[in-house]
Amino acid sequence: MEKGCADQYPKVCQNLKNYDIFHKIMVLKIPIFDGFQNKKTIRTMKVTVVGAGAVGASCAEYIAIKDFTSEVVLLDIKEGYAEGKAMDLMQTASLNGFDTKITGTTNDYSKTAGSDIAVITSGIPRKPGMTREELIGINAGIVKTVAENLLKHSPNTIIIVVSNPMDTMTYLVHKATDLPKHRIIGMGGALDSARFKYRLAEALEAPISDIDGMVIGGHSDKGMVPLIAHATRNSIKVAEFLDEEKMDWVVQETKVGGATLTKLLGTSAWYAPGAAVSSLVQAIACDQKKMFPCSTYLEGEYGLQDICIGVPVILGKNGIEKVVEIELSDAEKAKLTESAQGVSNTNGLLEV
């Protein structure tokens, strides 16, 4: 049943409203007119996150802190692990001011029943020096079984795939289930774009809030296509401020963003991946119609067939509501085609 945000989450809406009013009076010093800007429609939401490891727990934490959904279930195969993470996170609720209920379960999918959105983060992460593609042998079996188990208990769920190699895992879920393509979403581009913006802000010596930019293509060191020619600082193309050498640096650092962190941390990163997933979940839960680059099954868009790869999509309550086809230069098209070839090669290793 659809309900207004203010009806369902009065505390959050009131806090947002109080902040907004305070900001208008104290900072902007303008008269108050609330208009309709805080009116969003959201549904009572149950979100399951499979894999209570680094990325899964971070994702659950950001979803809870943003406080837009009623329930998050963490599931892990490791005995007691998801229960422990859930309890630890719940003990932050009074400190961080959220009401989302987080529970954990050891591999009991009945506890995930009726999930509106399910996130798959289960599987192994890469170690320093490894590529994401090298994880396929172990992760394919895990992701396929997890997707099947989720759908037994939540036949209407929207699945967000995070486990790597993500584009191939998204394709695997597409081939292994009969879910319509708008309900299978691969998360990679939202993270890569956040890393792109981080590097752009660094190069421009500007605040990140000034920056906009997007990364499409495969979620791999070689396959990412940061759209540098489209990136802007406060609506002005970054090429106005950066020379070729600086722009090449931004592109290269973006593409190896995950590998850089894996080298520093000894395993793959979790804060930005968790935040990126939570943004996709929020866009769906709150029917925001926001545009993100996501891995989706293509049937001719961008000249690509029978592949899941990152392209701009609109996310709303139905999952992927539209694939957005933007005008690419010949060089960008060539990079996307090359990236798709790499993803197809990895898909060829699947046994489906």
Ligand X SMILES: NC(=O)c1ccc[n+]([C@@H]2O[C@H](COP(=O)([O-])OP(=O)(O)OC[C@H]3O[C@@H](n4cnc5c(N)ncnc54)[C@H](O)[C@@H]3O)[C@@H](O)[C@H]2O)c1
Judged by CB under 6 A, the residue of 112, 115, 122, 170 near ligand X is 122
Specify whether the CB–CB gap between 20 and 34 falls below 8 A.
yes
In the structure encoding, which two tokens stand for residue 42, read together?
A: 């959201």
Binders of ligand X among residues 320 to 339 (CB under 6 A) are none
Secondary element (H or E) of residue 62: helix 54-66
> What's the rounded Cα separation, in Å, for the pair 233 and 76?
41
The contacts of residue 347 (CB under 8 Å, 6+ apart) are 167, 168, 171, 307
**Candidate residues 273, 293, 310, 316; the one interacting with ligand X per rule CB under 6 A:** 273
Q: Does 342 bind ligand X (CB under 6 A)?
A: no
User: If binding means CB under 6 A, how many residues of this protein chain bind ligand X?
Assistant: 34
CB 268 within 8 A of CB 206: no
Closer Cβ to ligand X, 21 or 264, answer by number: 264
> Between residues 219 and 335, which has the closer beta carbon with respect to ligand X?
219
Nearer to ligand X, 146 or 340 (CB): 146
Tell me: does residue 140 bind ligand X (CB under 6 A): no
- Report if residue 280 touches ligand X, rule: CB under 6 A: no
Going by C-beta distance under 8 Å and a sequence separation of 6 or more, which residues neighbour residue 31?
24
Q: Which of 60, 86, 102, 125 binds ligand X (CB under 6 A)?
A: 125
> Count of CB atoms within 10 A of residue 235's CB?
7
Using the rule CB under 6 A, is 189 a contact of ligand X? no
- Cα 292-298-303 angle, rounded to 5 deg: 105
- Is 153 tagged catalytic? no
Name the residue nearer to ligand X (CB basis): 144 or 233: 144
Window contacting ligand X (CB under 6 A); options: 44-52, 111-119, 200-208, 333-341: 44-52
DSSP string, 175-194: HHS---GGGEEE-SHHHHHH
Binding site for ligand X (CB under 6 A): 50-56, 75-78, 81, 121-126, 135, 139, 142, 146, 162-164, 166, 187-188, 191, 219, 267-268, 270, 273
Cite the active site residues: 219
